[in-house]
Chains A and B, each alone.
Chain A
């Protein structure tokens, strides 16, 4: 019980030393320092290049007509770009997992929000359309 408790505290704190202490078989990387993870510059540069390339791709896709897929592709690329920003620029990849939980929770609730609003308005759209068309 106390070991579970210690692991939970380690997860919330995101302290790699604390996490390593509770996890016997996992050795944390970065042997030259014990402190928080420091992201290398080359990795940041690579992520930037990927993001710029995806931006170019996003604009290029609009020149092709895919019908309803256009917005799906555009949003899909935006999600991928966000993932890169969140994981690498915002450091969430090496951060406490609980911070990821907080972010995911916010996104889940936004999803619920949009889903219900869209389902509801789509449901009543035929009635609204009919009402509007009669009054021109």
Chain B
């Protein structure tokens, strides 16, 4: 090509020697054809290939996190089995459905762009955008639910042995499972009340759990103030009063202001969330929850974990937040791209000759869906 221009009505005549196969009747170089491509077809297929290479790199990036998941779950399966009960699989399932439907509308939008149906394209892209927004809203609900229980990643997590916050593991669980449980701590014996005084060998629910946690710590100075606090805590009068053994070894009257969270039971059927709190340990140390005993059998209780696993619960949440957080970031980026394509589409520039941006953004959005298809069973549906 002797000159590089994409102006409409440029001076290239028919005898130019390059056949772009494009027939819109006005100019040899359509405005969307970048100068370094010979034909629109070449531009399209090159864009597609480039996008697939990029998607390959995205998969590899998430692959790193999946590898961390795989190695850690392989080595500490009980940590995952216990900690994942904090996740509500119904929210996860709803999110999966939301993303699948948004993938459907996105694929349909690509078809609309191919056919030049401007209004249909706008509607479908807007629906896809709504799906992404719905996903992020549900994600926010889930995250806030975790944060209210001080289930942060890493050292900020309430289960971390170096935690210095004011939460106690298990505190506030009642808010997730049943509203009633929270409101009447005095009648909820299973929720940590009745812990034998100063007994560190048994985990009898929430208050006892704190005691066991202190027994985990190998260092003396750390253990002693906590043990003291733990020993006094179970003697508190009201069941449901949790020992605040983490911070300064002083008990604090509990429970925290009970907040009614989303009640998964409202979705019908016994849900995972109702099994979150390890109930009072039976003689064998296994939590028995009469309501749900038939489903999974006895649910894994905090008491059943090996000591070294008890201080590793936070690692599950690190993995959880990193994987879903990175995925959520991709959803937000995808929403931005869809919004951009939506705006461009309203200008009527997409049609049979040129729909590449819609196609490539669609590929990105489908990748986001793909990753969630794997995240959902791995994080939410651990058995």
Contact = CB atoms under 8 A, between A and B. Distances in A.
Contact of A118 (B71, B96, B106): B71
A118 B107 contact: no
B247 interface: no
For chain A, the bracket of interface size reads: 35 or more
Interface residues of B, number: 58
A22 interface: no
Contacts of B106: 89
B366 A81 contact: no
A20 interface: no
B317 to A, nearest CB: 20
Interface of B, helix, strand, loop or mixed by DSSP: helix
A110 B374 contact: no
Interface of A: 12-15, 35-36, 38-39, 41, 44-45, 47-48, 51-52, 55, 58-59, 62-63, 65-66, 70-71, 74-75, 77-78, 81-82, 85-86, 88-91, 95-96, 98-99, 102-103, 105-107, 109-110, 113-114, 117-118, 121-122, 125, 128, 132-133, 135-136
Interface of B: 41-42, 44-45, 48-49, 52-53, 55-57, 59-60, 63-64, 66-67, 70-71, 74-75, 89, 93, 96-97, 100-101, 103-104, 106-108, 110-111, 114-115, 216, 218, 295-297, 307-308, 352, 359, 362-363, 366, 369-370, 373-374, 376-378, 381-383
Given A12-B49, A48-B103, 15 more contacts: A12-B45, A36-B44, A38-B111, A44-B107, A44-B111, A47-B104, A55-B97, A71-B383, A78-B374, A88-B107, A89-B107, A105-B56, A107-B59, A109-B63, A110-B59
The 6 closest A-B pairs by CB, nearest first: A106-B56, A74-B377, A110-B63, A70-B383, A48-B104, A89-B107
